[in-house]
């Protein structure tokens, strides 16, 4: 139970041993090729890695590897993947880079003449493919299946917000039973637990095209959606309001099913930052998004012991007060290379109110392209800053990508271990 106590201390801003996360969420994971490399590095049994998040081709980090890496947090995930098919009925699949992995039974693909791999929503070959892995790629990109003509036709009919809510519905008993079983299994590990229930992400651009629906309707084009945040705010208010009502009903049923087994819940992965700026103004966030996030977070804080997790990449230093006002407890991934995201400034200004989850090493430059010494130096500096006074969960800045040198990831883990033992 010590891992869980470290995690809970961090979530409650108590100073102590820094908890380490790898694989607990879809934004703190490791590409399946690197998971296989880590198993070899630690001398663990060679076996096919399970792809539990096929969109990004993240590999399941099994218990023996979690132990070897000294990871303190595990995740509880919904039964269905982003492509709308359930986990389970595992079958072998050979990746384009030659790795033998296990994928869910309805992970159905085809190959184009150009060598791209297409994946189908719900595994349905009769539906248009919703994801594409380009030749030479290592994960899937979303296929936008809505044309300008499609949207124009919907507008002629009268664009109905219900069309953008097709993927959000009340949880069925089978899904609740799945999540309860998964929570109980996670509790047995003695690690901290973050639950990824789904349904509470407002306008997450990865979800807007609905890769899990066979024939999505509504505004499903990424460009049109961003335009809508300025030009169709009344429409989005209707979508967010109804989605929030559904989410609150589901949260009540979820809490009844799993109680306070989870220590934290992943609320949304909506990115508000770019490398140098933001996708919308603080004023837009305050009026379009915050009222609904505030309702969700308030419900959770009033009725549960869960802490709430907000993911946003990019230059979001100016949004930190807004995230706090909206009721979020945790911010991830803390992209320190983005404009204005200085670690010392963030910790000094917002470390009393927000738990920083991530931020330990840059996964765009340092981890994939630096030397082990450069990785170690950056990690140690970030740990010194973010760990002061508690309120920090150690992880890389977003997922560890394919092609990351194993010696660099080993340097990361060795540095964390030495820092925690010092």
| Domain count across the chain | 1
Q: In this structure, are residues 415 and 381 in contact, taking their beta carbons and an 8 Å threshold?
A: no
How far is residue 418 from each of residues 18, 374, 384, measured CA to CA in Å? 11, 16, 12
Confirm whether 101 is domain-assigned: no
What pLDDT shows up at residue 210? 97
Q: Beta partners for 76? A: 195
d(CA 240, CA 207): 14
Confirm whether 301 is domain-assigned: yes
d(CA 198, CA 210): 13
Q: Is 37 exposed, middle or buried (0-12, 13-18, 19+ CB in 10 A)?
A: buried
Task: List pLDDT tens digits, range 246-270.
Answer: 999 999 999 999 999 999 999 999 9
Confirm whether 403 is domain-assigned: yes
Structure tokens at 250: 């589901």
What pLDDT shows up at residue 1? 53
Task: List pLDDT tens digits, range 259-311.
Answer: 999 999 999 999 999 999 999 999 999 999 999 999 999 999 999 999 999 99
- Helix/strand number for the chain, H first, E second: 14, 15
d(CA 258, CA 45): 33
d(CA 319, CA 328): 12
CA dihedral 158, 164, 167, 170 (to 10 degrees): -80
d(CA 41, CA 35): 10
Confirm whether 94 is domain-assigned: no
Q: In this structure, are residues 58 and 8 in contact, taking their beta carbons and an 8 Å threshold?
A: no
Q: How many CB atoms lie within 10 A of CB 183?
A: 20
C-alpha distance across the termini of the chain, in Å: 21
d(CA 339, CA 317): 8
Q: What is the DSSP string of 199-222?
A: S--SS-TTTTT-TTSSS--SS--H
Q: In this structure, are residues 409 and 31 in contact, taking their beta carbons and an 8 Å threshold?
A: no
Which of 330, 319, 321, 249 is closest to 284 using CA atoms?
A: 319
Q: Which residues of the chain have pLDDT under 50?
A: none
How far is residue 151 from each of residues 145, 219, 228, measured CA to CA in Å? 11, 7, 12
Q: What is the DSSP string of 63-89?
A: HHHHHHHT--EEEEE-SB-TTS-BS-S
Q: In this structure, are residues 250 and 171 in contact, taking their beta carbons and an 8 Å threshold?
A: yes
What pLDDT shows up at residue 150? 75
What pLDDT shows up at residue 151? 75
Confirm whether 283 is domain-assigned: yes
**Domain assignment of residue 391, given as a range:** 2-88+145-421
Sheet of strand 100-103: strand arrangement: 58-59, 49-53, 100-103, 91-94
CA angle 269, 270, 276 (to 5 degrees): 115
Which CATH number belongs to the domain containing residue 195 in this structure?
A: 3.20.20.210
CA-based torsion, 215, 219, 222, 223: positive or negative:
positive
Confirm whether 134 is domain-assigned: no
Confirm whether 111 is domain-assigned: no
Confirm whether 110 is domain-assigned: no
């Amino acid at each position: 139970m010590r891992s869980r106590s470290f995690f809970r201390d961090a979530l409650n801003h108590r100073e102590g041993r820094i908890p380490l996360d790898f694989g607990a969420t879809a934004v703190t994971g490791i590409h399946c090729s690197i998971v296989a490399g880590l198993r070899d590095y630690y001398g663990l049994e060679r076996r096919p890695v399970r792809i539990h998040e096929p969109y990004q081709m993240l590999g399941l980090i099994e218990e023996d590897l979690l132990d070897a890496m000294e990871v303190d947090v595990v995740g509880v995930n919904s039964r269905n993947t982003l492509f709308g098919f359930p986990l389970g009925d595992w079958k072998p699949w050979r990746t384009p880079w030659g790795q033998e992995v296990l994928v869910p039974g309805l992970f159905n693909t085809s190959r184009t003449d150009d060598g791209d791999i297409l994946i189908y929503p719900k595994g349905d070959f009769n539906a248009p493919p919703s994801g594409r892995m380009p030749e030479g790629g290592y994960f899937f990109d979303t296929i936008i299946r809505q044309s300008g003509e499609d949207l124009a036709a919907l507008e002629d009919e009268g664009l109905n917000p219900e069309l953008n809510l097709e993927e959000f519905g009340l949880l069925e008993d089978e899904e609740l039973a799945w999540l309860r079983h998964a929570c109980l299994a996670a509790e047995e590990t003695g690690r901290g637990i973050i639950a990824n229930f789904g349904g509470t992400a407002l306008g997450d651009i990865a979800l807007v095209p609905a890769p899990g629906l066979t024939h999505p309707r509504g505004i499903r084009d990424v460009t049109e959606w961003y335009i809508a945040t300025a030009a169709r705010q009344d429409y989005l208010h209707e979508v967010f309001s109804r989605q929030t009502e559904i989410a609150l009903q589901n949260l009540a049923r979820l809490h009844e099913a799993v109680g306070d087994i989870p220590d934290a819940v992943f609320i949304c992965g909506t990115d508000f930052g770019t490398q140098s700026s933001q996708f919308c103004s603080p004023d837009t966030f305050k009026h379009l998004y915050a009222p609904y996030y505030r309702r969700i977070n308030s419900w959770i804080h009033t009725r549960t012991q869960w802490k709430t997790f907000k993911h946003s990449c990019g230059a979001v230093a100016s949004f930190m007060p807004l995230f706090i006002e909206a009721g979020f407890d945790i911010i991830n991934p803390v992209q320190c290379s983005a404009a204005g995201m200085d670690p010392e400034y963030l910790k000094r200004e917002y470390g009393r109110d927000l738990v920083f989850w991530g931020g330990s090493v840059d996964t765009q430059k340092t981890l994939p392209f630096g030397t082990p010494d450069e990785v170690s130096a950056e990690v140690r500096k970030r740990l010194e800053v973010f760990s002061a006074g508690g309120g920090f969960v150690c992880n890389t800045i977003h997922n560890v990508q394919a092609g990351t040198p194993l010696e660099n990831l080993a340097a990361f883990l060795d540095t964390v271990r030495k820092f925690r033992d010092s």
